[in-house]
Structure 1
Amino acid sequence: MVLKRSTVTILIILSMIIGAVLSITIVNWSTSIFAEQDETEQETMKEETKDTFGFTETDLKKMSTVFGIIGNDYYKEMDKTEIIDGAIRGMLASLDDPYTVYYDAEQSKMFREAVNSSITGIGAEVTMEDNRVTVVSPIKDSPAEQAGIRAKDQIISVNGESLEGLTLNDAVLKIRGPKGTQAKLEILRSGFNETIEIIVVRDQIDIETIQSEMLEGNIGYIEIKQFSQHTSDRFHEDLTQLESEGLQSLIIDVRNNPGGFLDTAIELLDPLLEEGKIIVQVEDRQGNRQETRSKQGGKPYSIVVLTNNGSASASEILAGAIRESADGIIVGENTFGKGTVQNTFPSGVNDGSELKVTIAKWLTPNGNFINEVGIEPDYIVEQPAFYTVAPLRKDEVLSLESVGENVKTLQIMLESLGFNPERSDGFFDVKTEAALKNFQAENGLSVTGKVDELTANEIEKQIIAKFNDPENDYQLQKAIKVLSGS
């Protein structure tokens, strides 16, 4: 079986884009999630909110006093707009919600570009966890994934500048930059004792959100990379084509899919579920729930959803709905765990700034709230160890008695290629040296027992080949077995 997937070369340093976290977002920027309300009702609701939670005279006096003290008595002159923007960010920070954020005009433009699937920068969706910029997911087949960025990676610094203490938006602006420039990222990864350095070249990337093909056994395969505005249309176009070719079962791959528009997820799921089945439930602050039910007829074939730690937001809505309302099966790893809904509101002045605010939580058809918990698959399948390694650093020669994360990466790679160093703890001992010499001898390299740039490049080339071989994708192979009944 040959799976014609886009090339996923995790170890080639290429361009990546990184944007503010792509949340479950409402397609219409100014409307409420409760779609049955008309515009008049929505505006009335907003006015009522202002009346019941507005500033008192005491509140205004306090803020005005502080503002005046800063303007008149602070030891250096400050920009008025920066102070106001800082006050807004401070209010939102007090909510302790990483998905409720303020965008100034530049950041708002960047966010809109991101959700329209075209942005210049580096290629993963990020959030703030434990006061650190944390990767929700590298976008599928993006240079972020190609360079070795993984879900849950923490970005400590960019080009030597620490991100500590910055807001998520400010950190993202440092990570982004002009096309063709380098971003040297210092990454902290679970399971590693030291930080990992990954260098990427910024570029503009237009993301194709759907990729599909027919696998052996008439198993349709559709990969969804994120839920953008036109993703549902593309999904059903490809699904119709696969059905015309004799599709008998379906794999939907949302691994490393960070989410996107709620409306898109609903539109995509509707034809997959029997009429009347719940797609998703949304619950507001008063506990009122709105159920969205399928209006179409469902599908006669079995469906498996592939997930991993980078499957977030709309991806989790899809996985939950397929399992609970279509008797589907989930294969892979526990999902990210983002169970809230955001809407974007103008800031009240015509300067291009906006607020992205968490307005509700979403629940699976059975009423499960998965925030910070995620969805556990029916079949938990881990990928081979080499799926999680970073590129080998080329600025040092590894040899006997070298230590560190770069040696640990080398040992994992050698083991994956069949040259057993008998350890993976980051200490370069005589057995690691022997394994390396065997690799060099079998590949026509100088048998030095040292990892120079030539040897490192050959090791990485072979790891890339293994990564791109679908036979090594244990999660995909398990999904095929489940659908084949083997």
Structure 2
Amino acid sequence: MKHSFSWKTLILVIIGSLLCGSALTFIFVAWMLGKSPLMNSDLRQIQEVYENIDQNYYKKVPSKKLVNGAISGMIDSLDDPYSQFLTAKNRTDLNESISGKISGIGATITKASSGIKIVNVMQHSPAKRAGLKADDVILKINQKSTRDLTVEQASALTRGKTGTKVQLQLQRQQKQFTVNLRRAPIKMATVTGQVNKDYPQIGQITIAQFSENTSQDLKKEIVALRHQGVKKLIIDVRSNPGGLMEQAVASASMFLKNGQKIVTITGRHQTDITYRANKHYLKNYKVHLPVVVLIDNQSASAAEIFAAALHESGKTPLVGEKSYGKGVVQTVNSLNSSSEMKITTAKWLTPQGHWINKKGLEPTFKVKYPVYLNLKAFTSKKTLNSGSSEPDVLTAQKVLQALGSDVELSGQLDTATMTALQNFQSQNELPATGTLNQATRQALTQKLLKQAQTNDEMNNKAIELLAKDKE
């Protein structure tokens, strides 16, 4: 039997849950399949283990399972959170993250008391063609109730292979109905922008991650904002896990003079490579506007490359919290049609030569998130009644306090707490039972997050800095 292996290599700078492999493992896999003459004592030991299990284990074990186990074991021995073996779904998730494309129904969703609510429907999507609208409530996905699902769980159910069917049971006001959709490729927007409603000369851009077209999308968003009269920019890379290094480099080049350093890659067996701003990125498009960049402790990898370049070469202030600190680069190789491997192959340095791995970027102006965003998450789904003293009661009391209630932190579902919950439930169109149920937990969490977004102190600091900056 012939075995062919197609190789594709992508330089990635991405936060730790994405996936991996190694050159040695590829040699081992190929050798296992009779394609490599390489033999030494170490590989003979692996062969002996393989043959012993294959011939003497009490039941038959698929060879693919043994090979994958050997690959995973070698990669795990690196003790590197960024080096992993990718098969099936994990491989698909990585490729979707890189491309910025998924297959789904094309609707933005949020949590509602009766299930999952549609916030927005994308143009030319399966959801749009089926007539779905904002505020439609998804009650079931493929017969599975959404009442106790998180947004992430519901989103996962709507995704799948292009062309496959997904059934939704929906409610629109008093009417319930069912639709059958076929999943289709959906391009995820990695760049969004808007004009600040209070300061119309300030444009606010969020970069969610660095995917295949992020630099082009960033350019388009800036051009659009400029046409609306924007003369200053806030670029938000908070919670941006990274992505493609080349896209971070191209994006940074827009804000720097040609020749200025963006990032230096230093590897074990290669000459250092320094990437600089140049005329070839985005046809030499340049942004000559005052800029502030927002970062936090989840801004990682490519997001840190972008922020560090603007800060150290472009003198752009960074506002927020210290970034994640991922200063290493991964190379992804395809083993075959169903598996890939990714290992750390280099480290990257900021324009001034700093290695920020496990250290992060220090903001120019440190602004912390509100303390209440560090509250312990709810841990139960049970409905808690009068007198309960489970941990979720104290969490609920802390959230209620953060939202303005004067309830005491007794840790017990007492009369005062039940009254506070009843008031909250009434204000948020929930049954005013005074009990702590799952719908109330979710509403409390969403309300707290919305309050944090409305009172965004990091963004306020950026606005303050730009307001002082003369045009």
What's the secondary structure of 1:365's corresponding residue?
A: coil
1:309 aligns with 2:310: no
Give, as a single letter, the amino acid of the residue that structure 2 aligns with 1:373: K
Q: How far 1:451 sits from its partner (Å)?
A: 3.4
- In structure 1, the residue matched to 2:240 is 257
Alignment: residue pair count: 375
- Structure 2 matches for 1:313-332, cutoff 5 A? 313-332=301-320
Superposed CA offset, 1:395-447 (max 9, x none): 3124335221x223311221122112243x84546664565466578889998
- In structure 2, the residue matched to 1:153 is none
The partner residue of 2:328 within 319, 326, 340 is 340
CA–CA separation in structure 1 for the residues paired with 2:48 and 2:431: 73
CA–CA separation in structure 1 for the residues paired with 2:327 and 2:467: 32
- In structure 1, the residue matched to 2:138 is none
Superposed CA offset, 1:65-91 (max 9, x none): 111111122222211111011111111
* 1:278–1:439 distance in 2 versus 1, CA, 3 Å: same
What's the secondary structure of 1:272's corresponding residue?
A: coil
1:29 aligns with 2:16: no
- Structure 2 matches for 1:111-260, cutoff 5 A? 111-119=94-102, 200-201=153-154, 202=156, 203-204=158-159, 206-215=187-196, 216-260=199-243
CA–CA separation in structure 2 for the residues paired with 1:60 and 1:185: 50
Q: How far 1:263 sits from its partner (Å)?
A: 0.7
Runs (5+) with no aligned partner, structure 1: 1-27, 34-45, 122-140, 148-177, 187-196
- In structure 1, the residue matched to 2:402 is 416
What's the secondary structure of 2:397's corresponding residue?
A: helix
Task: Give RMSD over aligned pairs.
Answer: 3.9
What's the secondary structure of 1:260's corresponding residue?
A: strand
The TM-score normalised by the length of structure 1 is: 0.67
Superposed CA offset, 1:143-169 (max 9, x none): 69xx9xxxxxxxxxxxxxxxxxxxxxx
CA–CA separation in structure 2 for the residues paired with 1:229 and 1:214: 25
Q: How far 1:222 sits from its partner (Å)?
A: 0.8
Paired residues of 1:278 and 1:294 also in contact (CA < 8 A): yes
Paired residues of 2:11 and 2:245 also in contact (CA < 8 A): no
- In structure 2, the residue matched to 1:367 is 353
Superposed CA offset, 1:266-306 (max 9, x none): 11111211122111111111574211111258543321111
Give, as a single letter, the amino acid of the residue that structure 2 aligns with 1:371: N
The partner residue of 1:355 within 321, 341, 364 is 341
CA–CA separation in structure 1 for the residues paired with 2:39 and 2:263: 39
1:381 aligns with 2:362: no
- In structure 2, the residue matched to 1:160 is none
What's the secondary structure of 1:238's corresponding residue?
A: helix
Give, as a single letter, the amino acid of the residue that structure 2 aligns with 1:403: E
What's the secondary structure of 2:259's corresponding residue?
A: coil
* 1:422–1:91 distance in 2 versus 1, CA, 3 Å: same
Paired residues of 1:392 and 1:410 also in contact (CA < 8 A): no
Superposed CA offset, 1:166-185 (max 9, x none): xxxxxxxxxxxx98868999
Q: How far 1:142 sits from its partner (Å)?
A: 8.1
What's the secondary structure of 2:313's corresponding residue?
A: helix
Superposed CA offset, 1:373-396 (max 9, x none): 222222222233454564685531
Paired residues of 2:148 and 2:438 also in contact (CA < 8 A): no
The partner residue of 1:94 within 77, 84, 88 is 77
* 1:282–1:181 distance in 2 versus 1, CA, 3 Å: farther
* 1:301–1:109 distance in 2 versus 1, CA, 3 Å: closer
Give the structure with higher Rg (CA): 2
CA–CA separation in structure 1 for the residues paired with 2:418 and 2:142: 40
- In structure 2, the residue matched to 1:159 is none
Runs (5+) with no aligned partner, structure 2: 1-6, 13-25, 31-36, 116-140, 160-185
* 1:329–1:422 distance in 2 versus 1, CA, 3 Å: farther
CA–CA separation in structure 2 for the residues paired with 1:453 and 1:98: 34
CA–CA separation in structure 2 for the residues paired with 1:274 and 1:339: 24
* 1:253–1:454 distance in 2 versus 1, CA, 3 Å: closer
Paired residues of 2:109 and 2:151 also in contact (CA < 8 A): no
